Structure 1
Amino acid sequence: MKALDVSKYILTKCNLENNPISNLQLQKTLYYIQYEFLTKMDKPLFEDDFEAWKFGPVIPSVYYEYSHIGAFKIGANYENYDSILKNMSSYETELLNSIIEDKRTKDAWFLVDDTHKKGNAWDLVFKNGIGFRDTISKKQIKENAF
């Protein structure tokens, strides 16, 4: 599965439930989701890799899809947005939805701070900018995301 497909699900769910989110919140929500799937399901939800950017872990393809919106809330609604759920168990669906419902209400800068903790995966890769745009491996996320 692609992170962009998961993003379309997240954005549409948030908008339909009157809790739109920004690109920054979306990036962090994807990171939490990937971490939870790696630790609880022992597999990633999506195949894309995160990169270490200044404001935390980022999936470039998703970032650039919505970058024209800037820091504003993304008002996108997609048809068939829930098609990603077809191959997911009820537990996986519940896990995905619970993360979205929790993180969409958090301030974007709270989420940034949470992913920037000293010694975590992003910090170890970013290295005060030396590792800008370097990949944060799924192994690093699973073992040391937070």
Structure 2
Amino acid sequence: MPYDAREIANFFVDRAGETGLPLTHLSLQKILFFAHAWHLAKYNAPLIGQRFEAWKHGPVVRVVYDQLKVYKDKEISSRLTKIDVTTGIMSFARYDLNSNLMKFLENIFDYYAKFDAGKLVDLTHEEAGPWEKVWKSGLDGAVVGMYIPDESIRLWILREGGRGSLIRH
């Protein structure tokens, strides 16, 4: 079962704190995308339940954007929240991950967090990549929600590892 994007985002926010690597909203969105892409390739299943949308600066998960847009290009200093469906109370989006998935996400974060946001944007904007296909289609006509299909993301990673600019996990 896929995870809520805010849970995985909180894992990365916590990992940034542990490693001392800075994490901006733009960087987090791209790292979420790469984690989702590699998970699709490795496990043939989505990591994140929400869909990625093609926005000007690359793939975005709207629920993460809505909570973190206040940071603009500053480092993220708080965790994301969501409503607990059993209590109706807003609380931190808690993640409960097995050790294999934690290691997988740590590897993703440790690799991609070394790049600045501009480089991560470049990586997600590769020619003929899943973001570009949806973005260009949107320029030519309407694409409902500008959603990037998981299958397009998975095939991109499997085909060339994102044109060689991504590592194998």
Instruction: Spell out, residue by residue over 1:69-100, the C-alpha distance to the aligned partner (whole angstroms, 9 max, x if none).
Output: 11111012589877321xx3x33221111001
What runs of 5+ residues in structure 2 fail to find an aligned partner? 81-90, 163-169
Number of equivalenced pairs: 143
2-structure distance, mates of 1:125, 1:77: 30
1-structure distance, mates of 2:70, 2:144: 21
1-structure distance, mates of 2:79, 2:20: 12
The TM-score normalised by the length of structure 2 is: 0.77
After superposing on structure 2, the runs of 4+ consecutive aligned residues of structure 1 that deviate more than 3 Å are 77-83
2-structure distance, mates of 1:19, 1:58: 21
SS of the aligned residue for 2:95 comes to: helix
Between the aligned residues of both structures, percent identity stands at 27
Aligned-pair Cα RMSD in Å:
2.2
Instruction: Spell out, residue by residue over 1:32-78, the C-alpha distance to the aligned partner (whole angstroms, 9 max, x if none).
Output: 00011100111111211000000000001101110011111101258
2-structure distance, mates of 1:12, 1:132: 34
Query: Given that residues 11 and 20 in structure 1 are in contact (C-alpha distance below 8 angstroms), is that contact kept between their aligned partners in structure 2?
Result: no
* Matching residue's letter, 2:30: K
The TM-score normalised by the length of structure 1 is: 0.88
Query: Given that residues 8 and 95 in structure 2 are in contact (C-alpha distance below 8 angstroms), is that contact kept between their aligned partners in structure 1?
Result: no
Q: By how many angstroms is 1:119 displaced? A: 0.6
2-structure distance, mates of 1:138, 1:96: 18
2-structure distance, mates of 1:108, 1:132: 27
Q: By how many angstroms is 1:20 displaced? A: 2.4
1-structure distance, mates of 2:62, 2:26: 12
Matched, 1:111 2:113: no
Matched, 1:143 2:145: no
Matched, 1:83 2:85: no
2-structure distance, mates of 1:84, 1:72: 27
| Of 114, 121, 129, the match for 2:130 | 121
2:61 matched residue in structure 1:
59
Matched, 1:50 2:62: no
Instruction: Spell out, residue by residue over 1:80-127, the C-alpha distance to the aligned partner (whole angstroms, 9 max, x if none).
Output: 877321xx3x33221111001111111111010011011110010000
| Of 83, 101, 113, the match for 2:110 | 101
Matched, 1:92 2:94: no
